[in-house]
């Protein structure tokens, strides 16, 4: 990216943000023990009890930034984007994260996973109908990929879609569908040809989730939230016009989604000073445990892997910028780095806190780590299990024989 282009965008975006939002207080840009919210989130809504209102506020903010020509600078101009370097999309997110704005996390599936699949594999009609509403915050999306019996083998799914004129009739079940209870569109993978090898018989569709025959049931998690769901599909009809790519090409389309999802799951999204890795260091300082050589070694591991994750993400982003290629197996690297470090952080917090980790004493910065730890296992599954990521890296990057 040319420096002049970057500087011009940052100047325009900062001027607009200063005029339309309040900057975060300086104290919130660094970790100070006892100040601010001690909720250490890995996933889910910041305030699940106000989920509907929070999503509405987030959508309104996104529409305003989109209309200002700022929130999708790398998108094609014919669909409302800025027509600039795609790397500016992430630059925008980093800039707006410095301001007090509605939480945008629920839209990650739409912007980072569903949108790219439509842009790369969808027809001109699909791109025209869906890209602008998705990136303007009008269409919250959910992935309808995983199934109860398929486990980590996504290509082993059993949900069937049968052609009936200009429609497809779908029957099956999906599970672990984030925000399906609030989303308007589901990114559905279904088997359309059972007589060919499993990877070749899949097709992707965009399913309106208010369609007859769609039943959505929330799944309560051990962290107390329920942003995941299971979705039952009974004789659901989808227009053929909502098909993403040719019949049987769904595996190629879903790879675009999965590579973005894996990088997103594993990426260190918080600023280094307020990341969980740094916060657990501050916890050890608060408890006066930093003189313990074993604790120091564990802290060093956590901090080192957090920095490796950040630097690896930046290196791959730079490589994509120069080569123009899509995400590849590096998404698996980031996912493994991130999910393993989340477990390290949670385990270390538990060993430092002892009973305060499991019982809420009301003390700031203690029991809040429990929610972090019980959320960590879910991210080992999201976007493909850690075991699947190891297979991808061994086969595609190291050239080892298939399992």
Mean pLDDT confidence for 115-139: 95
- For the cut 60, the answer to whether the pLDDT of residue 267 exceeds it is no
For residue range 201-249, what is the model confidence (pLDDT) as tens digits? 999 999 999 999 999 999 887 767 777 899 999 999 999 999 999 999 9
In a domain, 167, yes or no: yes
For residue range 86-114, what is the model confidence (pLDDT) as tens digits? 889 989 998 998 899 998 888 888 998 89
The last residue of a domain, from among 75, 110, 135: 135
- Whether 272 and 377 map to the same domain: the answer is yes
186 with 141: CB under 8 angstroms? yes
The last residue of a domain, from among 104, 135, 166: 135
- Whether 311 and 214 map to the same domain: the answer is no
- Whether 158 and 121 map to the same domain: the answer is no
- Whether 229 and 303 map to the same domain: the answer is no
- Whether 80 and 165 map to the same domain: the answer is no
- Whether 147 and 211 map to the same domain: the answer is yes
The residue annotated as part of the active site, out of 147, 230, 261, 330, is 261
**Count of structural domains within the chain:** 3
In a domain, 74, yes or no: yes
Instruction: Based on the residue annotation, tell me whether 261 is a catalytic residue of this protein.
Output: yes
Tokens describing residue 101: 């704005």
Mean pLDDT confidence for 116-145: 95
- Whether 278 and 393 map to the same domain: the answer is yes
**Which residues, other chains included, contact 50 with Cβ-Cβ below 8 Å and sequence gap of 6+?**
none
- Please give the residue range of the domain that contains residue 236: 141-247
Q: How far apart are CA 334 and CA 322, in angstroms?
A: 20
The enclosing domain of 150 has a CATH number of 2.40.110.10
Q: Determine the pLDDT at residue 132.
A: 97
For residue range 29-73, what is the model confidence (pLDDT) as tens digits? 566 777 777 777 676 655 566 888 989 999 999 999 999 999 999
276 with 309: CB under 8 angstroms? no
- Whether 284 and 242 map to the same domain: the answer is no
Mean pLDDT confidence for 70-83: 94
Q: Determine the pLDDT at residue 376.
A: 85
Tokens describing residue 64: 């305003």
- Whether 240 and 317 map to the same domain: the answer is no
Angle at which helices 3-20 and 87-96 cross, to 10°: 30
Q: Determine the pLDDT at residue 152.
A: 66
The enclosing domain of 52 has a CATH number of 1.10.540
- Whether 110 and 179 map to the same domain: the answer is no
The enclosing domain of 300 has a CATH number of 1.20.140.10
Cα diameter, the chain = 72
In a domain, 387, yes or no: yes
> Is pTM beyond 0.85 here?
no
For residue range 334-387, what is the model confidence (pLDDT) as tens digits? 888 888 999 999 999 999 999 989 888 888 888 889 888 888 887 777 767 778
Strand partners, 215: 232
């Amino acid at each position: 990216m040319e420096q002049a282009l970057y500087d011009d965008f940052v100047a325009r975006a900062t001027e607009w943000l200063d005029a339309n939002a309040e900057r975060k207080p300086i104290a919130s840009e660094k970790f100070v023990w006892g100040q601010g919210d001690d909720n250490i989130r890995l996933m889910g809504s910041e305030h699940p009890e106000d989920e509907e209102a929070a999503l509405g506020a987030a959508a309104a903010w996104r529409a305003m930034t989109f209309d200002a020509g700022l929130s999708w600078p790398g998108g094609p101009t014919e669909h409302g984007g800025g027509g600039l370097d795609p790397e500016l999309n992430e630059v925008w997110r980093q800039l707006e994260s410095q301001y007090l704005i509605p939480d945008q996390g629920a839209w990650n599936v739409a912007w980072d996973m569903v949108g790219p699949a439509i842009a790369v594999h969808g027809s001109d009609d699909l791109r025209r109908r869906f890209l602008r509403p998705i990136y303007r915050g009008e269409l919250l999306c959910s992935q309808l990929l995983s199934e109860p019996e398929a486990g980590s083998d996504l290509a082993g799914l059993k949900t069937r879609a049968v052609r009936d004129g200009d429609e497809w009739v779908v029957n099956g079940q999906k599970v672990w569908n984030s925000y399906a209870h609030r989303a308007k569109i589901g990114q559905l993978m279904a088997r359309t040809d059972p007589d060919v090898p499993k990877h070749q018989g899949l097709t992707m569709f965009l399913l309106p989730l208010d369609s007859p025959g769609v039943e959505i049931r929330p799944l309560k998690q051990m962290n107390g939230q329920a942003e995941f769901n299971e979705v039952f599909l009974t004789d659901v009809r989808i227009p053929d016009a909502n098909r993403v790519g040719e019949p049987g090409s769904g595996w190629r389309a879903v790879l675009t989604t999965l590579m973005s999802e894996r990088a997103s799951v594993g990426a260190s999204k918080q600023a280094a000073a307020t990341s969980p890795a740094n916060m657990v260091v501050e916890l050890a300082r608060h408890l006066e445990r930093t003189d313990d050589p074993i604790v120091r070694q564990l802290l060093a591991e956590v901090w080192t892997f957090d920095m490796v994750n950040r630097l690896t993400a930046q290196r791959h982003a730079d490589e994509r910028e120069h080569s123009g290629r899509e995400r590849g197996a590096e998404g698996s690297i980031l996912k493994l780095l991130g999910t393993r470090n989340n477990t390290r952080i949670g385990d270390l917090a538990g060993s430092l806190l002892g009973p305060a980790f499991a019982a809420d004493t009301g003390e700031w910065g203690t029991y809040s780590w429990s929610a972090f730890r019980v959320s960590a296992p879910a991210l080992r599954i999201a976007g493909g299990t850690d075991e699947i990521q190891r297979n991808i890296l061994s086969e595609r990057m190291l050239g080892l024989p298939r399992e």
